Chains A and B, each alone.
With several copies, the nearest count.
Chain A
Amino acid sequence: MDLLEYQAKNLFQQMGIPVLPSQQISQPKDLKGLKIPYPIVLKSQVYTGGRSKAGGIRFVENTIDAVAAAQAIFHLPIMGQYPEVLLAEARYQPERELYLAVVLDRSSRRPLLLGSQEGGVEVESVVGQMQQVIVDQEFSPFYARRLVLKMGLRGELIQTVSSVVEKMYRLFLEKDLDLVEINPLAVSARGEVMALDGKIIANNDALARHPDLTALCSQQPLSNRTRITGALPAGMNLVELDGSIGILCNGGALTMATLDLVYKAGGKPANYLNVGGEFSHHLPPNTLPERVRQGLEVLGRDRGTKVVLLNIVCGGVGCDDVTEAIAAHWRRRSVGHRPVLMVRLAGSRFDAAHEILRGLEIGVVHDLDEAIAQAVSLSKSKVA
């Protein structure tokens, strides 16, 4: 889960990382109660980068200008997002700007400290200067000093900046984050530092053990607008496209493989839905039939779909258990729009499953390639 800049800065402040005095602005008139002296900077609080280029950050000298700027920013979408809040912040004159981050490195399977003296710009453009330190053992401050020295800092700045990295790491660890980034960390002529902008991404799997982050999460608007209205059941993952074949599978890689096969066979997917794999403590395999039924309901809402292809590989339950769920769904939706179902099942008790579906005139096969071929063919037929 992404945090907004002001939420990240609240966490920085709790951890003792220096941030500027700031205030949240929910509507332009809030600026009349501003407690920070002018000049200030107004910043659109959206989840995407590139705010500056897009015009989402403005420097203003007085209330009149500030209100006008705030109105403009509230009405400025950045990559499709409108801000719900602006951050009004004191201005700061940095002598130099650094980049600092802590991320989890998939390859080394360890946290990674990142830093560069070329902060304040789009980070992709300065990757050449980026220094990195892998935290291979339990963290200790010398890892932070190691980064800061690699960045080329010397003298008192070593301690000042490595102390910020230390705090970023503690935050990363205590809150189970995927990313803590300060860009830029401003350095003043007197060697003082200030986090001018910050980004935090919390790990979704760990969210439930951090009530403070969970609370921020609930304020967050749904980022994906979908044609298919209604919230997706927990543990499911839907991607919408613009073809005519709905795809419903259990397991992420199986879903992708099925999608690949549909395209390969000349089909046009309308969407693909993963109803969840086999190792969830919260949704164990014996909930698969119910998840399939819920998934069918979700896909059934898409009026553009002619065929729904189910590819279910049954492990912990039998094919017939899943089929009962399909049948239950089919019977309930016997009126109104009803896409054709093409069912592919692999697993135990296939014959029993076949029996049930044949009674409902739903196509069911055991072979994957054949299921794909039939689904694509059905999607192209005029009858469906």
Chain B
Amino acid sequence: MLFSAASRVLIQGITDPLGKVYAPLMQQYGTQIVAGVASGQGDTNFHGIPVFDLVEQAIATVGQVDTTVICGHPYMVLDAALEAIAAGIRHLVLLTDGVPPLDMVRLLRKAEATETLVVGPNSPGIIVPGEILLGTHPPDFYAPGPVGLISRSGTLTYEVALQLTQAGFGQSIAVGIGGDRIVGSSFQQWLQILEEDEATQVIVLVGEIGGDSEENAARYIAEAIDKPVVAYIAGRTAPLEPVMGHAGAIIAALVADLSTEIGTFESKLAAFKAAQVPVADRPSQIPDLVKKALQKVS
């Protein structure tokens, strides 16, 4: 797995509002936070974590960093991420929401050119239960086990993890890829990672209406994933967000040769059906479907 108890982690924006809340929680979970970055606050420390003005200073002092968690101001996220990439870090977890989409476009061009994995933004990050917490997942909801959990949301991810844990199904990893229109890593990338991950026996994909991530994921599952996948889609009864209705989105969807129905619950449900992925009709049904899937595998 890309992330383990041995991973050396940096927190950028460690004294920003999100960093202040989550850095101590990650540290309590056992995540090896080797340094924090907060411009203007070098040579101080936060909860025993040494704080530096610049990523490269941190690395020069504490040594190599495997992953950085970025939780600064939304308008500073691009610069923080580029700084991390320039310093040689190739795993980035972006928590902050409200990052301007064109900043993400620029970041993702750079990430692709440097083969950097970017998780988020607007994301709860990653938890490998019993190993490492890189984000906001509440540790009590999780337990080690065979379920790989991938999702676009935050609190709903925790909810699903809780239901799984209470039903006795621990998780190999849980990842929130982020709720924004433009995010780094996709469902497909994570499906592939989980397909190859030995600890993962079954994959739970938590989707929601809007966008085409679930439709694309379903197609990818049919083509490339052998492990069983269980899905859940939130928003069956909610109207699509108004932003979905604007001319640009309609045109983009239409032109990309997709149905105008793209993004609806029905479209996503149909895609998963076509990929023979069972879809839970409520969170509490997910553990049942996981159980069935695990029985089939063994």
Contacts and interface: CB of A to CB of B under 8 A. Distances in A.
Nearest to B101: A104
Contacts of B71: 279, 281
B75 A209 contact: yes
B254 A130 contact: yes
Nearest to B207: A253
B152 A253 contact: yes
A195 B96 CA distance: 35
Interface of A: 2, 49, 101, 103-107, 109-112, 114, 123-124, 127, 130, 132, 136-138, 140-142, 145-146, 149, 154-156, 158-159, 162, 173, 176, 178-179, 181, 199, 201, 203, 205-206, 208-209, 239, 249-257, 259-261, 263-264, 272, 277-282, 284-286, 313-316, 346-348, 368-369
Contact of B155 (A107, A138, A206, A249): A249
Contacts of A256: 208-209, 234-235, 237-238
A2 B248 CA distance: 12
Given A132-B255, A257-B283, A286-B21, A155 B155 contact: no
A168 to B, nearest CB: 12
Interface of B: 16-18, 20-22, 25, 39-43, 53-57, 71-75, 78-80, 82-83, 86, 95-106, 108-110, 121-124, 136-138, 140-141, 151-156, 158-159, 162-163, 179, 181-183, 206, 208-209, 211-212, 216, 234-239, 243, 246-252, 254-256, 281-284
Given A149-B57, A178-B248, A264-B282, A257 B256 contact: no
Tell me whether chain A's interface is mostly helix, strand or loop, or mixed: mixed
B188 to A, nearest CB: 11
Nearest to A159: B40
Contacts of B17: 281-282, 284, 286
A49 B109 CA distance: 34
Contacts of B75: 208-209
A205 B74 CA distance: 9
Given A253-B234, A277-B154, A142 B83 contact: yes
A179 B246 contact: yes
Contact of B256 (A107, A109, A178, A272): A107
A201 B246 CA distance: 9
A106 B282 CA distance: 27
A235 B17 CA distance: 15
B235 A260 contact: yes
A315 B72 contact: no
A104 B86 CA distance: 21
A181 B247 contact: yes
26 contacts: A101-B247, A101-B251, A103-B251, A109-B108, A112-B255, A114-B255, A132-B255, A137-B82, A137-B110, A145-B54, A158-B40, A178-B243, A251-B155, A253-B151, A253-B153, A254-B234, A256-B238, A260-B238, A263-B237, A277-B154, A278-B154, A280-B97, A281-B97, A285-B18, A346-B159, A368-B163
Contact of B208 (A110, A158, A252): A252
